[in-house]
Amino acid sequence: MANLHPVPAEFAARARIDKAGYEKLYAESVSDPEGFWGRIGKRLDWIKPYTRVKDVSFDISDLHIRWYEDGVLNVSANCLDRHLATRGEKTAIIWEGDDPDDSRHISYRELHAEVCRAANLLTHLGIGKGDRVAIYLPMIPEAAVAMLACTRIGAVHTIVFGGFSPDSLASRIADSQCKLVITADEGVRGGKRVALKANVDAALERPNTNSVETVLVVRRTGGAVDMQVPRDRWWHALMEGQSEQHDPVPCEAEHPLFILYTSGSTGAPKGVLHTTGGYLVHASYTHECVFDLREDDVYWCTADVGWVTGHSYLVYGPLANGATTVMFEGVPNYPDSSRFWQVVDKHKVTIFYTAPTAIRALMREGEDPVTRTSRASIRLLGSVGEPINPEAWEWYYRVVGESRCPIVDTWWQTETGGILITPLPGATDLKPGSASLPFFGIKPAIVDANGNLLDGATEGNLILTDSWPGQMRTVYGDHQRFIDTYFRTYPGNYFTGDGVRRDEDGYYWITGRVDDVINVSGHRLGTAEVESALVAHVSVAEAAVVGCAHDIKGQGIYAYVTLKVGVEQSEALRKELIAWVRKEIGPIATPDYLQWAPGLPKTRSGKIMRRILRKIAENAPDQLGDTSTLADPSVVRNLVDERMIRG
Give DSSP secondary structure letters for 62-113. Answer: G-EEEESTT-EE-HHHHHTGGGHHHHTTSEEEEEE-SSTT-EEEEEHHHHHH
Q: Quick check: 338 binds ligand 6R9 (CB under 6 A)?
A: no
For residue 435, state whether it binds ligand 6R9 (rule: CB under 6 A). Answer: yes
Provide, rounded to whole angstroms, the least separation between the CB of residue 593 and ligand 6R9. Answer: 22
- Where helices occur in 125-215 by DSSP H, the ranges are 141-153, 166-176, 196-203
Does 498 sit near ligand 6R9 (CB under 6 A)? yes
**Residue with Cβ nearer ligand 6R9 (307 or 328):** 307
In whole angstroms, what is the distance from residue 629 CA to residue 498 CA?
A: 26
446 binds ligand 6R9 (CB under 6 A): no
- Taking the complex as a whole, the smallest distance from the CB of residue 216 to ligand 6R9 amounts, in Å, to 27
Burial level of 240, CB count in 10 A (0-12/13-18/19+)?
A: exposed
**CA geometry: angle at 605 spanning 602 and 607, to 5°?**
45
- The nearest distance, CB 449 to ligand 6R9, in angstroms, is 18
Cβ 431 to ligand 6R9 shortest distance, Å: 13
Residue 330 annotated as binding? no
Q: How far is the CB of 490 from ligand 6R9 (least distance, A)?
A: 15
CB nearer to ligand 6R9: pick between 63 and 588? 588
Q: State yes or no: residue 438 binds ligand 6R9 (CB under 6 A).
A: no
Could you tell me the smallest distance in angstroms from the CB atom of residue 308 to ligand 6R9?
A: 5
Question: How far from the centroid of its chain's Cα atoms is residue 24's Cα?
Answer: 30
Q: Select the span of 93-101, 242-250, 494-502, 610-618 touching ligand 6R9 (CB under 6 A).
A: 494-502
Interface with ligand 6R9: number of residues (CB under 6 A): 25
Write down the least CB distance from residue 162 to ligand 6R9, Å: 16
Q: Given candidates 309, 350, 467, 493, which one binds ligand 6R9 under the rule CB under 6 A?
A: 309
Task: Confirm if 137 and 143 have CB atoms less than 8 A apart.
Answer: yes
Say if strands 132-136 and 156-159 run parallel, antiparallel, or are unpaired: parallel
d(CA 203, CA 183): 12
Of the candidates 407, 453, 461, the one whose C-alpha atom is nearest the C-alpha of residue 434 is 407
Binding segment for ligand 6R9 (CB under 6 A), chosen from 76-84, 116-124, 360-368, 411-419, is 411-419
Q: What is the 3-state secondary structure (H, E, C) of 307-337?
A: CHHHHHHHHHHHHHCCCEEEEECCCCCCCCC
Q: Does 265 bind ligand 6R9 (CB under 6 A)?
A: no
* 266 appears as a binding residue in the annotation: no
CA separation for the pair 84, 99 (Å, rounded): 31
Angle CA(584)–CA(590)–CA(595) in degrees, nearest 5? 110
Report the alpha-carbon distance of residue 516 to residue 527 in Å, rounded. 6
Instruction: Please indicate if the annotation marks 333 as binding a ligand.
Output: yes
In the complex, the residues that contact ligand 6R9 under the rule CB under 6 A are: 262, 307-309, 383-387, 409-414, 435, 496-498, 510, 512-513, 519, 522, 524
Binding-site positions = 189-192, 309, 333, 385-387, 409-414, 498, 513, 521, 524, 535, 537, 540, 582
Binding-site positions for Mg(2+) = 535, 537, 540
